[in-house]
């Protein structure tokens, strides 16, 4: 791809390709994301698509980067919406969990799989998580100020691991109860505490 800045039309074309490729990745899976078919679905020639995304790997990495950026945009809206640190924390956890349990989860699952088989994806994997850690460290600092840098880093990774793991749970009973429990545990991680939630019986048959 040319290193010169894209025109407004070029930027719009690039976003159109990304959107269509993301849709095909989610619906078909990584193995059936074919560059030529992406180009055809966008009404363009393969050579024109390769101007924006020279290879399949470049396209997939761009999809992952765009997904991460959208997560951060959603989180920034939460930061602007609330002033109370705990509400910010709960809001960020809720939004990320909702996205990671949906289409974003498919995009990131693809990334996890690729990292296992292709070391070139390790950089984008590390960069992606670094951005989430940075976001969560800032949120945690609002909830629990005056901690060390190392402590914020540790709590951010624990919190990210919680959201990551929860996103793959499907049989969780009543979603509202489950979401509340996750937010409670996220708050305990943020303040450096242990589990501190009244034991509730969740009906897993619903």
The token duo for 46 is 């393969």
- Residue 203's contacts (CB-CB under 8 Å, 6 or more residues apart) are 173, 174
Residue 14 contacts residue 52 (beta carbons within 8 Å): yes
Lowest mean pLDDT among 55-64, 97-106, 152-161, 187-196: 187-196
Extended beta strands in 72-205, E state: none
Could you give phi then psi for residue 199, rounded to 5 degrees?
-60, 125
pTM of the model: 0.85
pLDDT at 200 > cutoff 60: no
CA distance 128 to 125: 5
Q: What are the structural domains, with CATH classification, of the chain?
A: 1-54 (1.10.10.60), 60-206 (1.10.357.10)
pLDDT at 4 > cutoff 60: no
Given this model, what pLDDT does residue 168 score?
84
pLDDT at 197 > cutoff 70: no
Residue 41 contacts residue 20 (beta carbons within 8 Å): yes
- 121-136 pLDDT, tens digit per residue, is 999 999 999 999 999 9
């Amino acid at each position: 791809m040319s290193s010169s800045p894209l025109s407004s039309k070029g930027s719009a074309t690039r976003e159109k390709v990304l959107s269509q490729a993301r849709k095909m990745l989610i619906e078909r899976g990584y193995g059936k994301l074919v560059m030529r078919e992406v180009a055809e679905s966008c009404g363009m020639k393969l050579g024109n698509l390769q101007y924006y995304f020279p290879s399949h790997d470049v396209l997939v990495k761009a999809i992952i980067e765009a997904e991460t950026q959208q997560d951060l945009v959603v989180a920034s809206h939460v930061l602007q919406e609330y002033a109370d640190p705990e509400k910010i924390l709960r809001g960020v956890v809720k939004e990320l969990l909702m996205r990671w349990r949906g289409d974003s989860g498919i995009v990131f699952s693809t990334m996890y799989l690729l990292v296992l088989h292709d070391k070139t994806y390790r950089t984008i994997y590390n960069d992606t998580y670094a951005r989430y850690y940075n976001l969560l460290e800032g949120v945690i600092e609002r909830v629990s100020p005056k901690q060390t840098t190392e402590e914020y880093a540790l709590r951010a990774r624990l919190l990210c691991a919680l959201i990551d793991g929860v996103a793959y749970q499907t049989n969780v009973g009543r979603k509202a109860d489950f979401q509340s429990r996750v937010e409670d545990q996220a708050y305990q991680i943020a303040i450096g505490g242990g589990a501190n939630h009244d034991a509730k019986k969740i009906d897993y048959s619903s």
